[in-house]
Amino acid sequence: MGVGYAPRGSLHAGSGRRIGLLGGSFNPAHGGHVHISRLALQRLGLDEVWWLVSPQNPLKPPAGMAPFADRFAQARKVAAGERRIRVTCIESELGCTYTADTLKALRRRFPRARFVWLMGGDNLAQFPYWKRWQEIFRTVPIAVFARPGLTAKALSGAAARHFARARLPAAAACRLALTPPPAWVFLHTRLDPRSATRIRAERLKTLKEMRPAVTSPSAVTALIPRARQSTGAPDLLRRIIDSLEDGKAEDIVTIDLAGKTTIADYMVVASGRSARQVSSLTDHLEQAIPGRVAVEGKSQGDWVLIDAGDVIVHIFRPEIRAYYNLEKMWGSDLPDIETVLQ
């Protein structure tokens, strides 16, 4: 039995409606997808953005891919409250594997809609690897959103050069949905956080294993390949909280991971006002629990992940923390610190 195209409301693509299409594996869905969708709605003058959660991205290996039902459920959770974002499994319903086929099917099903394909600059750089990529350019207009450090690579790549004459200036982005393809625009964004791939690749392997949307026993087994020995979570948690408070960390939140993952007992999320303070808080924490932590991301200072065994710590700059919103992903009813430590 199908899950349905849009569980949060049926899809409407009547005459002239401008619909942004954001495809991908959403492994996992995160605040970056919401951010890009909001930008598209604003900059392109769209009526809605549809998330096309793919059963399996042909360019990504199945290893490490959460089950489709879990990815779909997580995408719905992340997009909850976004009135103009529709989370769909239409690719699964249509039986499409490749974007070119999906777009053709959508055009047939909704002939009067004005579709725009949305993607990041990293995808533009590798677009020639997509099946029938030139056909995609000629099927719908495309909006490309800059990724940090990838602008030059994206704009000098084969796809950008091949369709250079079809590129619109950023100031004309609001006309893109009405422009016959091939037509595309490259949009620089004020905040360009990392993709889900880079989040997983650059943080500790434990971060991969901590997926809040995992529901099936097989998925849990795959995500937790090793046993973890307890090191006394309450005492360790108190040391961590004391260290963060001594370092003047802001908005410290403790999340009880019981029933959500076995990789750790607690997660602590805190903010530093600047990259320098984030690094300082990390140094202070390493001294408070010497020899017991693994640290990732310290050199950047925007998001540091600290694996202290029974406790996972995330220290963010405020804007990065707001963007990824781990608190929402890992539980809406969060106990305060003193309650957890009782």
CATH number of 18-187: 3.40.50.620
pLDDT in tens, 265-303: 888 999 999 888 999 999 999 888 866 667 877 777 778
- Rounded to a whole number of angstroms, the distance between the first and last alpha carbons of the chain is 46
**pLDDT tops 90 at residue 122:** no
Which two structure tokens, joined as six digits, stand for 337?
A: 């610190």
Distance of CA 187 to the CA centre of its chain: 19
- Residue 113's pLDDT is 95
**pLDDT tops 90 at residue 331:** no
Q: Is 142 helix (H, G, I), strand (E, B) or coil?
A: strand
Which two structure tokens, joined as six digits, stand for 68?
A: 């489709």
Give the residue among 26, 16, 75 at the shortest CA–CA distance from 46.
Answer: 16
pLDDT band at 261 (very low <50, low <70, confident <90, very high): low
pTM for the whole structure: 0.57
Mean pLDDT, all residues of the chain: 78
- Residue 116's pLDDT is 98
**pLDDT tops 70 at residue 206:** no
**pLDDT tops 80 at residue 197:** no
Cis peptide bond upstream of 28, omega within 30: yes
**pLDDT tops 50 at residue 212:** no
* More confident: 335 or 84: 84
197 CB-near residues (< 8 Å, 6+ apart): none
- Residue 143's pLDDT is 98
- Residue 292's pLDDT is 61
**pLDDT tops 80 at residue 11:** no
- Percent of the chain predicted with pLDDT > 70: 73
Cis peptide bond upstream of 182, omega within 30: yes
| Phi, psi (rounded to 5 degrees) for 82 | -90, 100
Q: Which range scores top for mean pLDDT: 11-20, 148-157, 202-211, 277-286?
A: 277-286
pLDDT in tens, 28-40: 888 889 989 999 9
Least confident of 23-27, 269-273, 324-328, 332-336: 332-336
pLDDT band at 13 (very low <50, low <70, confident <90, very high): low
* More confident: 223 or 231: 231
pLDDT in tens, 51-110: 999 887 655 556 667 888 989 999 999 999 899 999 998 888 888 888 999 999 999 999
> 230-341 architecture in CATH?
2-Layer Sandwich (3.30)
**pLDDT tops 60 at residue 155:** yes
| Contact between 82 and 34 (Cβ < 8 Å) | yes
- Average pLDDT estimate for 201-219: 40
Q: Where in the chain are the domains?
A: 18-187, 230-341
